[in-house]
Structures are given as structure tokens and as C-alpha cells.
Amino acid sequence: MKIISFLFTILFLASCQNGKKDYQTVEEQNTIASTFDPLEAKKLMETHCYLCHSPTADENQGRIAPPMVAIKAHYIDKSKFSKEEFIAEMKSFVENPSEEKVHLKGAFKRFGLMPKQTFPDGSIEKIAAFMYDYQIEEPTWFKAHWEGHGNENWTQSGKKLEEVDEIKTYADIGLDYALGTKKVLGKNLMEAIQQKGTIEALTFCNHQAIPLTDSMATHFKATIKRVSDKYRNPNNKANAEELNYIAQFKKELAEKKESKPIALEKGDKIQFYYPIETNTMCLQCHGKQIKPEVQRQILKLYPKDLAIGYDESEVRGIWSITFTKKSNE
């Protein structure tokens, strides 16, 4: 495959800064893929992929990207890639999405090109290895859908993951709240962009973002905020403690480290923090080159806006969530 040959070539090229390599050899990539913890990889997939590639979204309504099992079916079950080829293809596409690399032509036509974003070092390899070796969650409608496209008697490849009952930490609980809220906000925002355009999406954010966040807070019995050092809505201005954690998450992202959820115990309350990162879709309203008509609408809705000038994969703010400790603790 041309893409794989090209990827293997560039992986061997050195790009050094201050004597430290910032590339990954094929041997290192394969080591990551062969030694991954499947439970960790599954969680990485749920954290970084399921906002768009949800296995629970309806087939025809409310879906903004194909489910992960569709990607697996196209690449592995249909294209018959080896594990090494699949990991290389996934890494190449996710790190630099382009129409030339698309395998899911129907999904591309329906949803458009995946936004470019940065994953922590090793995460793509672990997720891809997990998808190859194990069965992943599939929507109830997917088997009939896939068989209806000429793939008779399809059964997902891979072994079943034996999951154990997990005792959730406060950091896990806070992350569930953050990702659950992010899923609702992201789904509605991306639908607005796809169906009505960026300007209408700004109106959605102005009128619906905080009410939707509050509704999720009520659902989770928590206080949920999205705060920033460069806020658009003054209600999202970070306080001193939040600013410290924004700085910490920025440093971790710059170093390509996996940012761990932070859960601080404060009496009978938990204060939770987790970063909000930009991708190419965010840059339509938060980037350095915003269309003039979009910029005018931003200033109309937010006269004191500070939330511009971002590049891809930067920390735009954090989730700041407060909830009560479990009563039995």
C-alpha cells in the first residue's frame, strides 16, 4: 500500500529538537501495539473517539460520524489489512486526515472529513490494536446495515474482552460527567454546523450551550462549568485555581502527555478538572483566520470576546465540575 510505505518512510526520519527525538520508529510503534492493556485502550477509545463515533447514536438521526465498528469492518473485515497495516493506516489518517486516505466513501460523503486533532503519544496505536484484537461495541442496527451492503453472514472479528466490575474513582465519575456533557453539546453543535452553517452554530452556542450544560448538571446532580483563560462568555471566566490547572494541562499537551482527570477532595465535595482541546472544527469560530461574516457575528453576540487565535490541539479551557462525595465514603 502506498500510504503504508510512505508512513514507514517518514517514521524513520529524524526530526530533532534540543537533542530529543520527536518521531516514533516502526519498532516502537509495534511494541506499543503488542504490549497494550486492552482495558486502557478501550477507555482511550471511549474518551477520545466516542463523542463523534458513538455506538449508541441512531442510524439516521443525530449521528455525526460512522460508529467505530464501521471503521473496523471497512479496514479489517473487508479490506483484510494485517494488524500492522491497520495500525499504520489508522495512525496516518488520524494524524493527518485527507480525502485521499478515506476508505469509508459513503461516510465521507455524508459527514465530511474528520477534523484533525492530536492524540497523546501511543494512544492511536493502542486504540487500533484493541480494535483489531477485540470485538468492540456495535450499534444494534449495524449488522443488518452492513449485511445489506453485500456482506452476508457478517460477524465482527476479534475476541471478546472479559471485563471486570470496575470500582470507579472520583476522577472516573467526574470524567463520565464531563464526557457525557461534551457528547450532548458536541452532537448538537456539529449538527448545527452541518445543517445550518457556522453562523447558525454561533447562535446555538449563544442560546443553548449554557442551558444544555445546566440540564446535564441537573441530570448528574452536579455543578458543571466550562471555563477558560480566554473566555467568550464572561460567565465562563476561570478563577485563580482553575487558571493554574489550565496552565498545567497546556504544558502536558505541549509535551504530548496524556492529561489525567484531576479530582480534589474538599470536605464533602469533589472538585474535578479536565481539559477542553481544539480541533479543526473549533477553529471556524476560535482560530486565527476566521471568516469576516463569522467574526462579525461573534462580536455581535460577544462584544468582549477573547476566545480566538487558537491553533489545532490547544487547551481552550477546562471542565470544572463539583459534585458531592458518595454517602458511604
User: Counting beta carbons within 10 angstroms of the beta carbon of residue 100, is it exposed (0 to 12), middle (13 to 18) or buried (19 or more)?
Assistant: exposed
Residues 81 and 187 placed together within one structural domain of the fold: no
Residues 140 and 177 placed together within one structural domain of the fold: no
Last residue within a domain, chosen from 109, 132, 147: 147
- Domain annotation covers residue 166: no
Residues 97 and 231 placed together within one structural domain of the fold: no
Residues 180 and 242 placed together within one structural domain of the fold: yes
Q: Which residue has the higher pLDDT, 35 or 222?
A: 222
Residues 74 and 177 placed together within one structural domain of the fold: no
Domain boundaries, position 261: 173-324
Q: How many domains in the chain?
A: 2
Last residue within a domain, chosen from 112, 147, 182: 147
What mean pLDDT comes out for the span 116-137?
Answer: 89
Report the chain's mean pLDDT, rounded to a whole number.
84
Residues 134 and 181 placed together within one structural domain of the fold: no
Phi, psi angle pair for 3, to nearest 5°: -65, -40
Residue 134 has pLDDT above 90, yes or no: yes
What mean pLDDT comes out for the span 7-31?
Answer: 42
- Domain annotation covers residue 23: yes
The three grid cell numbers given for residue 292, joined into one nine-digit string: 469576516
Q: How far is C-alpha 42 from the geometric centre of its chain's CA atoms?
A: 13
Residue 31 has pLDDT above 80, yes or no: no
Spatial contact of 93 and 171, defined as CB atoms under 8 Å apart: no
The residue assigned the cell 459513503 is 106
Residues contacting residue 12 through CB under 8 Å, at least 6 positions apart: 23, 25, 26
Largest CA distance in the chain: 59
Residues 52 and 100 placed together within one structural domain of the fold: yes
For 253-290, what is each residue's pLDDT tens digit?
888 888 899 999 999 999 999 999 987 778 889 999 99
Q: 62: alpha, beta or left, given left = phi > 0 and alpha = psi -120 to 50?
A: left
Last residue within a domain, chosen from 129, 147, 165: 147
CATH number at residue 128: 1.10.760
Residues 132 and 74 placed together within one structural domain of the fold: yes
Residues 191 and 99 placed together within one structural domain of the fold: no
Residue 14 has pLDDT above 60, yes or no: no
User: What is the pLDDT, as a whole number, of residue 25?
Assistant: 55
Residues 182 and 309 placed together within one structural domain of the fold: yes
The three grid cell numbers given for residue 273, joined into one nine-digit string: 478538572
Confidence class for position 76, pLDDT limits 50, 70, 90: confident
Residues 32 and 92 placed together within one structural domain of the fold: yes
- Domain annotation covers residue 157: no
Alpha-carbon distance of 126 to 47, in angstroms, equals 13
What are the DSSP E strand ranges found in 258-314?
Answer: 262-266, 269-277
User: What is the pLDDT, as a whole number, of residue 137?
Assistant: 92
For 154-203, what is each residue's pLDDT tens digit?
999 999 988 766 688 999 999 999 988 988 888 788 777 777 888 888 88
CATH number at residue 252: 3.30.450
Cα dist. 240→231, 234, 310 in Å?
A: 14, 15, 22
Q: Which amino acid is at 146?
A: W
- Domain annotation covers residue 153: no
Residues 135 and 181 placed together within one structural domain of the fold: no
Q: Identify which of 108, 310, 106, 170 has the alpha carbon closest to the alpha carbon of residue 228.
A: 310
- Domain annotation covers residue 223: yes
Find the angle CA(239)-CA(244)-CA(245) to the nearest 5 degrees. 100
Complete edge-to-edge strand list for the sheet that includes strand 269-277? 222-227, 315-324, 269-277, 262-266
User: What is the pLDDT, as a whole number, of residue 56?
Assistant: 83
